[in-house]
């Protein structure tokens, strides 16, 4: 209930597309009863969770922030949603995103951009010097990053304890970095994609956004494992783990891939990155510079593969079985064309066009096949580095802190995505687990995060290291003054954000 | 334009005939000429090198399985529209394909039966095109690495119409690939709307690609018939063409010997084996006529109009399609195992073991035929007829088990009497009113010489009425027993001799043929109840007295 009222008071953030008030209250009630009977369903029972609006939720609208699916109510739950509900989690609502998860700002959805909660924090207001147009306070708000910006904002603004995002090229880690939360992209195949409306099937993974690493581990534990409905999930049963409190990092070998010193990397983040490396070194870990030589080709190939699959995946939206259908009825073909023109925004249409171009018979070899080959090289780079004894890679998550919306929209979606995914998409190309850990505040008082990339299916090791790091950096809590006025008391309760420490309110 | 008019359908064959000597040889004759004889078709009056027709086939066989290729919805013919559609079949966003093991096994079985090498690793691809009955906008198929490759199929056909001379030919099988079926569109032109039924969408298909090793409609038809029998024997497909479980597209071209293949056309919409032969022969003739009139063949898709007996260009496929193939990212490579590669700890239910399937293959039609010929001493062509009718072999063998009559004689009853009755009444073997038990019973009476074969045919006709009488009851009722009392028979013979003075004179003069007439008269007198051998003896004895 507190979360629901908090959602209302933070409505201006535009984090949610749909708030499932009624069903959430009902679920909370049921959970309450279970607790009274002393039979909770598990650690997640009664825990309020938000889900990105590209996961199917039975009975609750699933829009992908697109006209194409506005009003679409799915008849089934995505496997991850079902797993959460089965464990008693309370589904608060569906969070905002870029249309069909195509973007890195959460600015290109049909429901409008998501505002970064940190725009309204005391930290940001104190540090960002109001410029000439200071009277226009509202124009200073910064973006959340994307495409899971709604989920990141929801977690960051305390409206839920955890949120599901999706991560295809960085869509969970990028907004997590900008919103100062933990964003975990698990290994491809560890969590079922069934019910996640795909962007790129071969790279998509459900992402987990929480306020601390321990929470991410708990949510991961409840979602991971084989799903007969997703043939790409691993067959072996996932072993639940609890994260140990690492005290000794001396046996660890941390790799610093030099190629991640990418053009455009802000000096602030560069400094933070080397500070983090020093942190490990000083604690006794082995820190070595490593090379992933094919990294620089990664983003280009990512775009070829991404758009090709987008072109294919979007083919089903033809207005026949579901979703938007144009009134145009001259012929089936003209209906298709009008439906798709009206249903998709320019970004989606652009990616469909380029994807189809890459898949044309005369281009297939030169683009798609080549990109796939390079993808293999990129994956092999990681295999080599991990084979050489490196346990975890440490990199920045983003090139800089979040930029104001007015700044962000000066560049088109394609340019932005190419810049913003540059440090994150390689992990998707290789299918590796990666996590953003909020590290510090920038000079402007905005969160900055660093990324850890781990070995395939070695989430436990990755999260353990991330947890140790999280403990060292002591990332500050967001001071949401405006909201605090409305909801006094909630914050004391939720500050720690640790699921296991929070009993039912 | 004359040719075009002639092809304009409706009485095509007649008009072609009427053109007579001036034009190319009439179609009917040409088509016959092509039959089997190495495939070369003599050129028309032009006197150039003969034409060689080349025919390849693409056959889609619907897999006989409880559920679809990638979803759990049921497979059933003629169910109410859209009643067998899962979320995946309707391409709801977020749904993923899950491969049906049964379909994989059916394809492996079929591949083995067609002497293919089975790929232990095969891949799935997406083939994109927009069509109302293709909900996802792409079909999942196996374009790059199909499940089975490089096989062959032997089939036989008769050289003349009398089923007496069979030749065996072989067609190479290029590949067998697994793929999804599409839904069905119904166009309502009066209300200008299209209705879509997705019951068929996602049903598993095996696409069997036959190399262009055939040269006429008869060969194509015989090859497909053999394939159909194999599929039905394996149970991998019900392969009923009328229900669309077996769909055949024919690629046809003609060229001169020693020259490269001609431009080919693809003929679709062929829904019976008979029409396949017709469509292919028509298309061969059409192409020859086009070329001989100095025109060219377009690489196009044509449809067979069974009512008009000709092929016509398909309108909606004019645009060249680029299918933009792409690997299906939601399905890992399909891995099959054999006894050697099977991991020890693998759950048997989870893997497909090629060797295991191989060991359990049923006898294929060719083996069954050979066994029939060997076991029962029947003619090879009879074995073809037995296998061609569903259930006839079983019927034949059941009769043999229950009668003392020799199989060689039984086969005559099966093929001449039973089969012609079935054909006349358009019944299947299962629907026959005369069961194998009744026929065996009847044949036993015949074998014991209780009735003549003429009488036996009468009994059979009575049994066909299905009134529930036994052969014995009918024999008694109609008084068809052979006259066992020799004195009675002698009297009848004497009466016949007495009444036919001229004939008796002729016989005595040495014309033995006339004796048959007397035998016939005795038969008539006894209403078929006399044993002709005995009658002959008696007559001869009396005439020599």
Q: Tell which residue, B61, B78, B71, has the closest CA to residue B98.
A: B71
CB B19 within 8 A of CB B293: no
Residue B130 to residue A318, Cβ atoms within 8 A: yes
Q: What is the dihedral of CA A224, A230, A234, A238, to 10 degrees?
A: 20
* Catalytic residue status for A147: yes
3-state SS of B423-487 is: HHCCCCHHHCCCCHHHHHHHHHHHHCCCCCHHHHHHHHHHHHCCCCCCHHHHHHHCCCCCCCCHH
**B93 contacts in chain A (CB < 8 Å):** 56, 62, 64, 69, 74, 197-198, 316-317, 322
A32 CB-contact burial (10 Å; exposed 0-12 / middle 13-18 / buried 19+): middle
The catalytic position among A9, A31, A52, A94 is: A52
**A231 contacts in chain B (CB < 8 Å):** 96-99, 330-332
N-terminal to C-terminal alpha carbon distance within chain B: 81
Q: B365-376 and B392-401 are packed helices; what angle lies between their axes, rounded to 10 degrees?
A: 30
The catalytic position among A66, A171, A400, A417 is: A171
Query: Could you tell me the pLDDT band of residue B316, with boundaries at 50, 70 and 90?
Result: low
Per-residue pLDDT at B7: 30
Query: Could you tell me the pLDDT band of residue B252, with boundaries at 50, 70 and 90?
Result: very high
Question: B90 vs chain A: nearest CA distance in angstroms?
Answer: 7
The structure tokens listed for B480 are: 């068809």
Question: A268 vs chain B: nearest CA distance in angstroms?
Answer: 39
CA distance B87 to B432: 44
* Catalytic residue status for A253: no
Residue scoring higher pLDDT (B327 or B35)? B327
Quickly count: other Cβ atoms within 10 Å of residue A492's Cβ.
8
Q: Number of A to B CB contacts under 8 A, please give it.
A: 99
* ipTM confidence score: 0.92
Model pLDDT for residues B430-483, shown as the tens digit of each residue: 999 999 999 999 999 998 888 888 889 989 999 999 888 899 998 888 877 877
Question: B317 vs chain A: nearest CA distance in angstroms?
Answer: 14
Helix (H) or strand (E) holding A309: helix A295-313
Helix (H) or strand (E) holding A163: strand A162-167
Model pLDDT for residues B109-151, shown as the tens digit of each residue: 999 999 999 999 999 999 999 888 999 999 999 999 999 999 9
What average pLDDT does this structure show over A331-356?
93
Quickly count: other Cβ atoms within 10 Å of residue A285's Cβ.
22
* Catalytic residue status for A171: yes
CB A117 within 8 A of CB A124: no
CA distance A420 to A177: 11
CA distance A162 to A497: 9
Residue B322 to residue A361, Cβ atoms within 8 A: yes
Question: B91 vs chain A: nearest CA distance in angstroms?
Answer: 7
A339 CB-near residues (< 8 Å, 6+ apart): A68, A317, A318, A319, A324, A325, A326, A328
Model pLDDT for residues B398-431, shown as the tens digit of each residue: 999 999 999 999 999 999 999 999 999 999 999 9
**B318 contacts in chain A (CB < 8 Å):** none
Tell me what percent of the residues of chain A surpass a pLDDT of 70: 93
Residue B329 to residue A201, Cβ atoms within 8 A: yes
Query: Tokens 């015989």 label which residue?
Result: B222
Per-residue pLDDT at A140: 85
Q: Tell which residue, A139, A57, A67, has the closest CA to residue A95.
A: A57
CA distance B136 to B88: 9
Angle at B129 between CA B183 and CA B220, to 5 degrees: 70
Diameter of chain A measured on Cα atoms = 72
């Amino acid at each position: 209930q507190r979360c629901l009222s908090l959602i209302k008071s933070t409505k201006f953030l535009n984090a949610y597309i749909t708030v499932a008030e009624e069903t959430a209250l009902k679920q909370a009630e049921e959970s309450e009863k279970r607790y009274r009977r002393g039979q909770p369903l598990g650690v997640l029972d009664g825990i309020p969770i938000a889900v990105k609006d590209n996961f199917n939720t039975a009975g609750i609208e699933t829009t992908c922030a697109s006209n194409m699916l506005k009003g679409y109510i799915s008849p089934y739950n995505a496997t991850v949603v079902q797993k959460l509900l089965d464990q008693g989690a309370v589904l608060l609502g569906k969070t905002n995103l870029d249309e069909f998860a195509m973007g890195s700002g959460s600015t290109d959805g049909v429901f409008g951009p998501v505002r970064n909660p940190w725009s309204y924090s005391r930290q940001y207001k104190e540090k960002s010097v109001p410029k000439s147009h200071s009277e226009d306070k509202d124009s200073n708000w910064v973006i959340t990053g994307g495409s899971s910006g709604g989920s990141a904002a929801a977690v960051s603004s305390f409206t839920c304890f955890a949120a599901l995002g999706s991560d295809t090229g960085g869509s969970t880690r990028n907004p997590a970095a900008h919103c100062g939360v933990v964003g975990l992209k698990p290994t491809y195949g560890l969590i079922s994609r069934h019910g996640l409306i795909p962007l790129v099937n071969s790279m998509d993974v459900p992402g987990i956004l929480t306020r601390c690493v321990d929470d991410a581990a708990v949510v991961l534990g409840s979602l991971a494992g084989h799903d007969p409905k997703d043939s790409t999930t691993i067959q072996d049963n996932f072993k639940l783990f609890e994260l140990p409190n690492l005290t000794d990092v001396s046996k660890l070998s941390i790799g610093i891939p030099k190629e991640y010193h990418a053009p455009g990397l802000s000096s602030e983040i560069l400094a933070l990155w080397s500070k983090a490396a020093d942190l490990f070194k000083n604690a006794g870990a082995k820190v070595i510079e490593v090379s992933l030589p094919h990294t620089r080709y990664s983003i280009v190939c990512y775009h070829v593969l991404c758009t090709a699959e987008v072109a294919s995946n979007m083919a089903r939206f033809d207005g026949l079985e579901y979703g938007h259908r144009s009134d145009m009825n001259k012929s089936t073909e003209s209906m298709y064309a009008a439906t798709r023109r009206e249903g998709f925004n320019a970004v989606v249409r652009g990616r469909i066009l380029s994807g189809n171009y890459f898949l044309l018979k005369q281009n297939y070899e030169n683009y798609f096949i080549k990109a796939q080959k390079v993808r293999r090289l990129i994956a092999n780079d990681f295999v080599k580095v991990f084979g050489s004894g490196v346990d975890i890679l440490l990199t920045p998550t983003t090139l800089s802190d979040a930029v104001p919306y007015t700044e962000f929209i000066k560049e088109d979606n394609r340019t932005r995505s190419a810049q913003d995914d540059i440090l994150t998409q390689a992990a998707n190309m290789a299918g590796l687990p990666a996590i953003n850990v909020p590290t510090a505040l920038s000079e402007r008082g905005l969160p900055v995060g660093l990324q850890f990339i781990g070995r395939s299916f070695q989430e436990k090791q990755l999260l353990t290291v991330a947890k140790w790091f999280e403990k060292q950096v002591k990332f500050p809590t967001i001071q949401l003054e405006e909201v605090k006025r409305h909801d006094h008391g909630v914050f004391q309760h939720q500050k720690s954000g640790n699921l296991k420490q929070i009993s039912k309110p | 334009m004359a040719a075009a008019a002639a092809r304009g359908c409706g009485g095509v064959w007649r008009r072609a005939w009427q053109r007579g000597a001036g034009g190319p040889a009439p179609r009917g004759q040409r088509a016959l000429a092509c039959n089997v004889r190495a495939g070369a078709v003599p050129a028309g009056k032009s006197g150039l090198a003969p034409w060689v027709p080349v025919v390849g086939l693409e056959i889609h066989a619907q897999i006989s399985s409880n559920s679809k290729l990638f979803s759990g919805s049921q497979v059933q013919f003629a169910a109410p529209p859209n009643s067998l559609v899962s979320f995946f079949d309707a391409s709801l966003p977020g749904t993923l394909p899950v491969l049906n093991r049964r379909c994989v096994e059916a394809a492996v079985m079929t591949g083995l039966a067609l002497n293919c090498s089975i790929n232990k690793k095969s891949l799935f691809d997406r083939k994109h095109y927009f069509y109302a009955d293709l909900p996802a906008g792409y079909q999942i198929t196996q374009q790059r690495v199909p499940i089975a490759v490089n096989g062959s199929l032997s089939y036989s056909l008769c050289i003349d119409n009398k089923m007496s001379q069979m030749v065996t030919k072989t067609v190479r099988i290029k590949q067998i690939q697994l793929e999804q079926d599409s839904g069905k569109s119904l166009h309502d032109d009066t209300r200008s709307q299209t209705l879509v039924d997705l019951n068929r969408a996602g049903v598993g298909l095996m696409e069997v690609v036959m190399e262009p090793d055939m040269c006429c409609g008869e060969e194509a038809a015989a090859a497909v018939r053999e394939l159909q029998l194999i599929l039905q024997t394996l149970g991998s497909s019900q392969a009923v063409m009328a229900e669309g479980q077996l769909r055949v597209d024919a690629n046809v071209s003609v060229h001169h010997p020693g020259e490269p293949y001609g431009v080919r056309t693809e003929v679709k919409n062929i829904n019976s084996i008979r029409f396949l032969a017709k469509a292919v022969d028509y298309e061969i003739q059409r192409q020859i006529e086009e070329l001989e009139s100095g025109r060219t063949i377009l690489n196009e898709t044509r449809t067979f109009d069974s009512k008009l007996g000709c092929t016509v260009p398909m309108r909606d496929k004019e645009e060249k399609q680029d299918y933009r193939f792409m690997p299906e990212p939601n399905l890992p490579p399909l891995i099959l195992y054999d006894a050697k590669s099977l991991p020890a700890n693998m759950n048997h239910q989870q893997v497909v073991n090629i060797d295991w399937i191989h060991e359990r293959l049923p006898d294929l039609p060719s083996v069954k035929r050979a066994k029939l010929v060997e076991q029962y001493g029947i003619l090879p062509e009879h074995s073809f007829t037995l296998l061609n009718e569903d259930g006839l072999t079983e019927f034949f063998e059941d009769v043999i088990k229950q009668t003392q009559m020799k199989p060689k004689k039984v086969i005559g009853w099966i093929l001449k009497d039973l089969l012609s009755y079935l054909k006349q009444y358009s019944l299947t073997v299962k629907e026959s009113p005369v069961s194998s038990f009744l026929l065996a019973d009847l044949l036993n009476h015949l074998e014991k010489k209780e009735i003549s074969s003429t009488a036996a045919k009468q009994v059979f006709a009575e049994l066909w009425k299905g009134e529930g009488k036994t052969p014995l009851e009918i024999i008694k009722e109609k008084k068809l027993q052979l006259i066992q009392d020799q004195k009675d028979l002698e009297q009848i013979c004497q009466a016949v001799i007495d009444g036919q003075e001229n004939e008796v004179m002729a016989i005595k003069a040495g014309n033995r043929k006339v004796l048959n007439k007397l035998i016939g008269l005795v038969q008539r007198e006894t209403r078929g109840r006399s044993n002709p051998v005995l009658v002959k003896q008696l007559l001869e004895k009396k005439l020599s007295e």
